[in-house]
Amino acid sequence: MDFQLTEEHLAVRNAARNFAQTDLLPGVIDRDTHQKFPSEQIKKMAELGFMGMMVDPKYNGGGMDTISYVLAMEEISKVDASASVCMSVNNSLVCWGLERFGSEEQKERYLKPLAQYGIGAFCLSEPEAGSDATSQRTTAEDKGDFYILNGTKNWITNGNSANVYIVIAQTDASKRHKGINAFILERGMPGFVVGKKEDKMGIRGSDTHSLMFTDVKIPKANRIGEEGFGFNFAMSTLNGGRIGIASQALGIAAGAYELALKYSKERKAFGKNLSDHQAIQFKLAEMATKIDAARLLVHQAAWLKDQKKDFVKAAAMAKLYASQIAQEVTTEAVQIHGGYGYVKEYHVERMMRDAKITQIYEGTTEIQKMVISRELLR
Ligand code: CAA
């Protein structure tokens, strides 16, 4: 067993840390307040290779392993969880899914630009189908050489900033999940409209929209995999996505902890630093222990995926635990900051709001427990 990161891993982590501190930190409060998508910053992330990290270099990717990816995700999420969810969706849900299951033609046309520049969106959730993902209401009618898509998707990350959208839809409801397909849509296809932007509690710099489809004509060549493979495609893709969101939750927690640690050494109360009070020391000890435990789960899941071993349970456990401790650690970070922690000028206030979504998207806490218990009982 080896807990040592390689030189390459350390270099990726340093590059992500430097980028986050230099390019993301300065405007993060303003982007959160005004719900501004970090367009310039995402462009720079793409130049640095963070948008297609695990994609084979022959498709313009970085050819890196999942450990490198989670290290970069943690550093970027420490500073700006809105930027990191854009990165996570593009890497884990869109690029990975296309590389693993797409046709050669789809990889040439869509994966190459997505791995180099971004930005893709993954469209599964609907107004009436969130956790119960088989209950897709969006329909894709088979017309021979093409499909006709109708329906609405909700809470879509990168909804207005993506160029390419992977959309899940029902072709034959009588076949339940075996009647579901996944399609590649391009922005601007006739009948495809980007709907309302969500006014969210957290990750407010991230671009979350509903999408509407009215008689959108999709060539058959844009279906991913065989007829009826769409649900299995979505589930397989989400397994890896959950490692990305687990590393995001870990990063939010670690970022809040680092700020709380620093603040506790600077702020004085009752004649000594906060960090000299046992009440604060014990909080810091608990926060650091939870973060280390979450990091071990995240790295275990990433390692299993890199070893091509079954990582479904490990990914769900990592997401379940990291998202839970992100809640706890950010709440304690606010508590250590006292009144300052409750105002927007201090980053921990945003981090506490950002942490909540990690228990909801890419499978709620309850869904992770379903996945884990099914794997245990199988
Ligand atoms: N990995 C691979 N395949 C899986 C799987 C997994 N984790 N879970 C289920 N499947 C497969 C099953 O093997 C089965 O396939 P076969 O018939 O070929 O064997 C098929 O999927 C159907 O499985 P179930 O009968 O178990 O399906 P179910 O209706 O009971 O539901 C569920 C399964 C796990 C609850 C699933 O609906 C689920 O994961 N729901 C959560 C959806 C989700 O994560 N949404 C997130 C939205 S995307 C997002 O948030 C992105 C973003 O923008 C940030």
In DSSP notation, 310-364 reads: --HHHHHHHHHHHHHHHHHHHHHHHHHHGGGGGSTTSHHHHHHHHHHHTTTTTS-
141 CB-contact burial (10 Å; exposed 0-12 / middle 13-18 / buried 19+): middle
Residue 168, helix vs strand vs coil: strand
- CB count within 10 Å of CB 286 equals 14
Cβ of residue 235 lying under 6 Å from some atom of ligand 1: yes
Q: Which two tokens stand for residue 123?
A: 């469209």
Mean pLDDT of 301-328: 98
Instruction: Tell the residue nearest (CA) to atom 44 of ligand 1.
Output: 363
Q: Who contacts 12 (Cβ-Cβ below 8 Å, separation ≥6)?
A: 64, 68, 71, 72
Ligand 1 atom nearest to CA at 88: 54
Q: What local confidence, expressed as pLDDT, does residue 356 receive? A: 98
CA of 34 to the centre of ligand 1 (A): 35
Cβ of residue 133 lying under 6 Å from some atom of ligand 1: yes
pLDDT digits (tens, 9 = 90+) for 151-207: 999 999 999 999 999 999 999 999 999 999 999 999 999 999 999 999 999 999 999
Cβ of residue 122 lying under 6 Å from some atom of ligand 1: yes
Answer whether 163's CB lies under 8 Å from 188's CB. no
Longest CA span, the chain: 78
Catalytic site includes residue 128: no
Ligand 1 atom nearest to CA at 316: 7
**CA atoms of 60 and 95, how far apart (whole Å):** 11
Instruction: Tell the residue nearest (CA) to atom 6 of ligand 1.
Output: 235
DSSP letter for 144, please.
S
CA of 75 to the centre of ligand 1 (A): 29
pTM equals 0.97
Half-sphere exposure of 183 (CA within 13 A, CB side): 29
Cβ of residue 248 lying under 6 Å from some atom of ligand 1: no
Per annotation, catalytic residue among 349, 362, 366, 375:
362
CA of 205 to the centre of ligand 1 (A): 28
CA of 372 to the centre of ligand 1 (A): 12
Cβ of residue 166 lying under 6 Å from some atom of ligand 1: no
* Ligand 1 pocket mutation pick from 91, 211, 238, 317 by most atoms within 8 angstroms of CB: 238
CA of 266 to the centre of ligand 1 (A): 47
Q: What local confidence, expressed as pLDDT, does residue 365 receive? A: 98
DSSP letter for 58, please.
G
For CA atoms 62, 68, 74, 76, the dihedral sign is negative
Q: What local confidence, expressed as pLDDT, does residue 68 receive? A: 98
Name residue 151's beta-bridge partners. 213
In this predicted structure, the answer to whether residue 32 has a pLDDT above a threshold of 90 is yes
Cβ of residue 361 lying under 6 Å from some atom of ligand 1: yes
Nearest to 293 by CA among 328, 263, 261, 260: 328
Mean pLDDT of 65-90: 98
In this predicted structure, the answer to whether residue 307 has a pLDDT above a threshold of 90 is yes
Answer whether 218's CB lies under 8 Å from 257's CB. no
**CA atoms of 319 and 370, how far apart (whole Å):** 13
3-state percent helix, strand, coil for the chain, nearest multiple of 5: 60, 15, 25
Mean pLDDT of 317-324: 98
Please name the helix (run of DSSP H) or strand (run of DSSP E) that holds residue 200, with its range, or none: none
